Amino acid sequence: MAGQGEGARPRVGPAWLAKYIVWLYRSTMTTTIPLLHDNHNHVSLYAAFSSCIDISRSAPDAALALLRGLPEDRLSVVRGWKSFELPMTSEELSSLPPIILINFSLHGFVVSDSGVPFLETTVPEVASMRNDQAWCEANVPPIFAAYCGLAGLDAKKLGEYIDRMLPLGIGSSDEMTVPTIQALDVCSSSPYDKRLNYWVAPALYEKMDIARRGLVSGIKLFLDGAVGSRSAAIEGPWIGPGKAMFTYADDVLLAILRRAGAYGTGLSAHAIGELAIEQALSAIEVAVREGARFRTIRLEHVQYIDVNQARRAKDLGIVLSMQPNFTSDSIDYTDRLTESYLKRNNPFRMLIDEVGFEPGRDMLFGSDGMPDGIAYAATQALFPAYPSQRLSLDELVAGYGTAKGVSGTVTLDIDDTERRVSVSGTSPVRLAP
Ligand SMILES: [Zn+2]
């Protein structure tokens, strides 16, 4: 240790003693849960991203230094950008090497000036529309396809990504937006196929042959933006800039549901803000009344669902697919959300206790890969910012459900003093025959 001379003895002072006493009396509980299924992740996209630089865990200064040092002769795809920690000015973007910087939420990206020509040659439409936020929010699936193409996906990257989730407590996942037909083929022809459920955008579903359509769980729509890109469809007001973004006009959404309702497949819709949830419920009510049928109907995220909307969703037999991970939006986004929205986020107690949603039956949990694994979700479930967001460990486990195609157990350390859950082990892992 620097500055400590030969033969120096550790000093046992009052501060050290106090720390020791806290450590001695810390209350850590260890418990075992099954290996889980993540009901909402973007497996092929994150697998493709595994070869990219991830700045989500870097301090802003370190991230900026890293970006400045990237190669000048090629485009670097960088993920995990948190705009609230590292705002990008036009001066900054003009001085950086060629990069595409993808928002942590996957909604929103920026390109450095020197990166634009690289993007123009590979994904010209995305390049030309990059500064049109409304276009970007309305075209998430083609943007995911562009990310996947820029980063590259193959069977090796896919397998490595899924294997890396095992020690984090996750054995299988719903892949919520398979970006391209090639990505579906990579996934479905791999040994990991049994551990994945596939969802695709309506445009991709239309392009798929009958055999491929038979592989997917359903059609996934994006109805609004995200809090991370200040574009979730909340009434507001936002603190600072922010705008409710909708992918579809009401009549266009209804037309999509009418068409999708004849395919005999499932439906899933990303809807974060209460305005997007309202749009989803109204369109689903009409489409179902008219005869549209879906194997299952899921609403993803629904962070700002209110009690009346929850009752309507329950009456329609809708499954709420939510992310305990996003409970921490109530802490991370004090720069953009008012107290009322910080408090309304992820109202699990209302949904379960008042409206009767049941984790594992009509309430599912997933990570959205932000971050992967069960530890962060468990931390947010057991130690949330607001009591209305709390989930018991049993509810959390039921909402994730046990892994498919693989089984095992996961040991969790629950530290009441630090208010944190960590995974201390996963074993034994057995693949299904
Ligand atoms: Zn997602």
Concatenated DSSP letters of 228-278: TTT-S----PPSSS----BSS-HHHHHHHHHHHTTTT-EEEEEE-SHHHHH
Q: How far is the CA of 30 from the centre of ligand 1 (A)?
A: 31
Q: What local confidence, expressed as pLDDT, does residue 9 receive? A: 53
Q: Where in the chain is the domain with CATH 3.20.20.140?
A: 32-42+170-431
Render pLDDT for 99-126 as a digit per residue (tens, 0 to 9). Answer: 999 988 787 899 999 999 999 998 898 8
| Residues 159-167, mean pLDDT to the nearest whole number | 96
Q: Is the pLDDT of residue 5 over 70?
A: no
Q: How far is the CA of 42 from the centre of ligand 1 (A)?
A: 6
Burial grade of 268 (CB within 10 A; 0-12, 13-18, 19 or more):
buried
Render pLDDT for 38-75 as a digit per residue (tens, 0 to 9). Answer: 999 999 999 999 889 999 989 999 999 999 999 999 99
Render pLDDT for 311-342 as a digit per residue (tens, 0 to 9). Answer: 999 999 999 999 999 999 999 999 999 999 99
Q: With bands split at pLDDT 50, 70 and 90, how would you rate the model's confidence at 12?
A: low
Q: How far is the CA of 338 from the centre of ligand 1 (A)?
A: 24
Q: With bands split at pLDDT 50, 70 and 90, how would you rate the model's confidence at 85?
A: confident
Q: Is the pLDDT of residue 381 over 60?
A: yes
Q: How far is the CA of 139 from the centre of ligand 1 (A)?
A: 14
User: Which string of DSSP letters, residue by residue, matches 22-83?
Assistant: HHHT--EEEEEEE-EEEEEE-HHHHHHHTTSEE-TTS-HHHHHHHHHTS-SSSPEEEEEE-T
Render pLDDT for 348-373 as a digit per residue (tens, 0 to 9). Answer: 999 999 999 999 999 999 999 999 99
% of the chain surpassing 90 pLDDT: 80
Q: Give the CATH fold of the 52-150 domain.
A: Diaminopimelate Epimerase; Chain A, domain 1 (3.10.310)
CATH superfamily of 32-42+170-431: Metal-dependent hydrolases (3.20.20.140)
Q: How far is the CA of 143 from the centre of ligand 1 (A)?
A: 13
Q: Where in the chain is the domain with CATH 3.10.310?
A: 52-150
Q: Is the pLDDT of residue 377 over 50?
A: yes
- Ion ligand 1, residues whose Cβ is below 5 A away: 176, 368
Q: How far is the CA of 424 from the centre of ligand 1 (A)?
A: 27
* Residue whose tokens read 């634009």: 116
